Amino acid sequence: MLRITEIFYSLQGESNTVGLPTVFIRLTGCPLRCVYCDTAYAFTGGEKIAIESIVSQVEQYGTQYITVTGGEPLAQPGCLQLMNKLLDKGYMVSLETSGALDIAGVDQRVVKVMDLKTPSSGELSKNRYQNIDYLDSKDQVKFVIGNDEDYAWSKEILTKYNLSKRCDILFSPVMGLQNPGELADKILRDRLPVRFQLQLHKILWDDARGK
C-alpha cells in the first residue's frame, strides 16, 4: 500500500521529456519544507492505495511515460516496489526526488530527476551529495534558482562535482522570483553546459492541480 495524493494524466512540464503525454503518480508526504514549494498540498492527507490498483489506474491512459513524484516519493519505501512493477510492464519511469534521501536502492532503469537544493530553498543542508555517485547519463540534476546567490552556488556545484560530464543539468527559475530572461542571459553569458527550462504546465494551466 502507498499513500497517494493524486494520479493524473498531463503533459510533462519539466525535464528532458517536456511536452510528452505522461501519467503522474504523486505520493503523499515530504521531510523537506522548501520555501518555494508548489505542492505543499501533498505533505499530508492522500489515500492508501494498493500497488496493483495504482498500476491498473495507470494502464487506463495508454501512455508509456510515467513520472513518480511527490512530495518526496522515496519517503515511502514501497515506492521502489511500485517503480519496479511499472518497469517490468515496459513503462518508461522517471522519479522526481529532492536529493535528500538515499537513491542507492532505485532500479537502474529508472530515470532519476534529482534536485540539489539551492540556498533560497531554505533546505540547503539537506542535500545528500553521495547521491551523485548513483547518477548516470540518462539521469538529470535540477537546480531551482531564485536569485543571484542561487545561480552562483549552482555554478560552483557544477564545477565541484563535474556534473555536466555525468548527466543532464537543468536550471529552472522560481516563478515570480527569478526573471526567466535574466537567468537565460546568465546561462548564455557564462556558456554553461545546462538546459534552461520553464515549467510548461504552469505556462499552460497556471497552478491548477492535476495538470
The per-residue pLDDT for 103 is 98
At 204, is the pLDDT very low, low, confident or very high (cuts 50, 70, 90)?
confident
Alpha helix segments (H runs only) across the chain: 51-59, 79-88, 148-160, 180-190, 200-205
Angstrom distance (rounded) from CA 8 to CA 37: 19
Alpha carbon 205 to chain centroid, angstroms: 19
Residue 170 pLDDT more than 90?
Answer: yes
Angstrom distance (rounded) from CA 52 to CA 166: 34
For residues 80-91, b (16+ Cβ closer than 10 Å) or e, as one string? bebbbbbbeeeb
Segment 111-133, tens digit of pLDDT: 999 999 999 999 999 999 999 99
Length of the chain: 211
Cis peptide before 46 (omega within 30 of 0): no
Q: Contact 71/42 with Cβ under 8 angstroms?
A: yes
Segment among 6-10, 137-141, 204-208 with least mean pLDDT = 204-208
Domains of the chain from N-terminus onward: 2-205 (3.20.20.70)
* Location of C-alpha cell 548564455: 188
Q: Contact 183/151 with Cβ under 8 angstroms?
A: yes
Segment 41-82, tens digit of pLDDT: 999 999 999 999 999 999 999 999 999 999 999 999 999 999
The strand pairing partners of 173, in sequence order, are 145
Tell me the pTM: 0.93
The per-residue pLDDT for 149 is 97
